[in-house]
Amino acid sequence: MDKETLLHKVEDYVRDCMEETEPGHDYLHILRVRKMALRLGTTADCDILLVELLALLHDIEDPKLNKGYSVRCALESFDMDASLRESILQILPYLSFSKYPVLPDDFPIEGKIVSDADRLDAIGAIGVARAFSYGGSKNRRMYGRDQSTINHFDEKLLRLDKYLYLEESKRIAKSRMEFLRAFYDEFLSEIGER
């Protein structure tokens, strides 16, 4: 199977899997992560096909979405290079902030790129929208309880720029972090906590 055909097959598979996920983790998230990962990939020495496939597949087995999909089964049903498939399957489990906030120095650059792209999609205006979408999908309060969405900013989102690998990611993160901090401060001020 040539590269274009493989990418189309994987796209179709991912679109099907993510049809009904909440808007913070839907196919549009995958498309943003892919676009960002391809952009970051131009600044590094990497296998760009591997980057694109990892970006497309990175959330399929996320336990939060809990749909029971198996990337291995899907990839084994495609006529693709076995070593490319094994690289994808080796890297994918590490692309989770909750499980692996820090990747080893010698982790494949393609994995670092997709990890950065995923984290950049959790900050800035999109990051705010995604957090409230996710919180809403779990029926969480916006504020005022331990598990409220605004707590997630403190626990994770406001620190995410410390967990990026590429220089280009850190550069892109700057304005997104400024926006996130400004949003957080304004939010606390409007609820009378600051």
Q: Which residues bind ligand ADP (CB under 6 A)?
A: 24, 62, 64, 96-98, 118, 122, 127, 130-131, 134-135, 149, 152, 157
- Smallest separation, CB 101 to ligand ADP (Å): 9
The residue count for the chain: 194
Side chain identity at residue 8, one-letter code: H
Of 59 and 110, which CB lies nearer to Ni ion in the complex structure? 59
Q: What is the DSSP letter of 23?
A: G
Write out the H or E segment, with its range, that includes residue 12: helix 3-17
Give min distance, CB of 114 to Ni ion, in A. Answer: 9
* Contact predicate 66/133, CB 8 Å: no
**Residue (108 or 127) nearer to ligand ADP, CB:** 127
Tokens of 192: 């009378």
The answer to whether 23 touches 134, Cβ cutoff 8 Å, is: no
| Closest CB to ligand ADP among residues 2, 20 | 20
- Binding-site partner at residue 62 among Ni ion, ligand ADP, none, CB < 5 to 8 Å by type: ligand ADP
Of 57 and 80, the one with the shorter C-beta distance to ligand ADP is 57
CB of 60 or CB of 122, closer to ligand ADP:
122
Given ligand ADP, Ni ion, none, residue 111, with its beta carbon under 5 to 8 Å by kind, binds: none
The residues that touch Ni ion, with contacts defined as CB under 5 A, are 59, 118
The sign of the CA dihedral 144, 158, 114, 174 is: positive
CA proximity to 166, closest of 102, 108, 113: 113
In the list Ni ion, ligand ADP, none, the entry touching 98 (Cβ below 5 to 8 angstroms by class) is: ligand ADP
What is the separation, in whole angstroms, between the first and last Cα of the chain?
Answer: 58
